[in-house]
Homo-oligomer: A and B are copies of this chain.
Amino acid sequence: MSSPSTESSRPKVVVTRDLGPDVMPLLRARRDLDVVTWPENRVVDRNWLLQNIPGALGVLVMMTEKVDEELLDAAGPSLRVVSTMSVGYEHADLPELAKRGIKFGYTPDVLTDAVADLSVMLALMASRIAGEVISLVQNNQWPTVSWAPFNLCGYQLSTSRTSPKRTVGFLGFGRISQATLARLIPFGITDCIYTANPSSPPQPSRDEQLLKRHGLNSLRRVDMDELARESDVLFVLAPGGPATRHLINEDFLRKMKVTSVLVNTSRGTLVDSEALAKALREKWIWGAGVDVVEGEPNVTTDHPLVKEPRCIVLPHVGSGTFETRVGMATLAVQNLLAGIDGGSNMPAALDLRNKL
């Protein structure tokens, strides 16, 4: 790779992060391209990016980089593709990209399993009061805690003789929800309910297929009221943005079972943090596990959810496995290369036609 300051007659692509030894060779193999990579192990300096992007055919960015008019103007008319190593695209001005006819690649699907794994982990941790029992050990209390038949207990994710029916609920029922559901089947989950975007049509044949494949007693699309009232474990797995902001609010949480747990591994904005903290404090629900929080990463130790012992808070590590990040980086490179070659073979291009 050339250093940023080297002039080259080859067409240029800009990459805002070293993608590691598994993925960088895919870029280096394209000897017809000048690959300009931000050399440091931190978020790319905006000025460096603005100075290096002029004339580039493509740019591969992280979700930390704002793709706005300023950046696109700096790139100039040569720019054919923006490829982001993320499934979200809140950092990109899609209408502006559409107007300029620039392709936009992202990385859906490849992180489904990593997020589903984490969702199951958080459901178990919230059910089994993992935050409290870990703290107990870390605070040197194990030697003195007294064993008692119902001490340090949680509710059981698996069915049992006394709880033979377990209903799992999904706010949003896309790929990650379905992958999470599949993982819960051997725990004995008997029923599944979900809500979907009101504008999306019912999918009776898909639902019938899932019901049969998993041997469930029922699988139904429901309204928010029933989702709140019936879920033993509720997974929030929906897109962010204004349309879904605070769908989980005080009204919703007050309807939930006192034995239920809530897991959010999608977008922090879906949940009203103050309301969830209150629900946990006042024991409207049993526990919660969140990998995302509204306003992240500015979530400090005085945040109501971080202070709440019954809330597990993780720093947005849903896609955080080496396998998945390599998969995302690989897909981002494939999108970039196919994008500069015309864009028709991009494995995951976002359709921008309705973004104008």
Would you list which residues of chain A between 324 and 341 have a CB under 8 Å from chain B? 324-329
- A354 in the interface (beta carbon within 8 A): no
**Interface SS, A side:** loop
- A323 in the interface (beta carbon within 8 A): yes
A322 touches B156 (CB 8 A): yes
B317 touches A152 (CB 8 A): yes
Closest beta carbon of chain B to A195's beta carbon, Å: 23
A321 touches B147 (CB 8 A): no
- A161 in the interface (beta carbon within 8 A): yes
Task: Chain B residues near A140: list those with CB within 8 A.
Answer: 300-301
Task: Chain B residues near A317: list those with CB within 8 A.
Answer: 128, 133, 152-154
Task: Chain B residues near A114: list those with CB within 8 A.
Answer: 156, 158
Task: Chain B residues near A324: list those with CB within 8 A.
Answer: 156, 160
In the complex the two chains form, what is the Cα distance from A94 to B62 in whole Å? 64
Task: Chain B residues near A159: list those with CB within 8 A.
Answer: 113
- A242 in the interface (beta carbon within 8 A): no
- A198 in the interface (beta carbon within 8 A): no
Q: Which one, A29-37, A95-103, A179-187, A200-208, is touching chain B?
A: A179-187
Decide: A314 near B124, CB < 8 A? Known: A186-B183, A297-B142.
Answer: no
- A246 in the interface (beta carbon within 8 A): no
- Which residues of A come within 8 Å of B, CB atoms? 17-20, 22, 41-43, 62-64, 85, 110, 113-114, 116-118, 120-121, 124-125, 127-128, 130-131, 133-134, 136-140, 142-163, 182-183, 185-188, 296-301, 306, 312-315, 317, 320-329
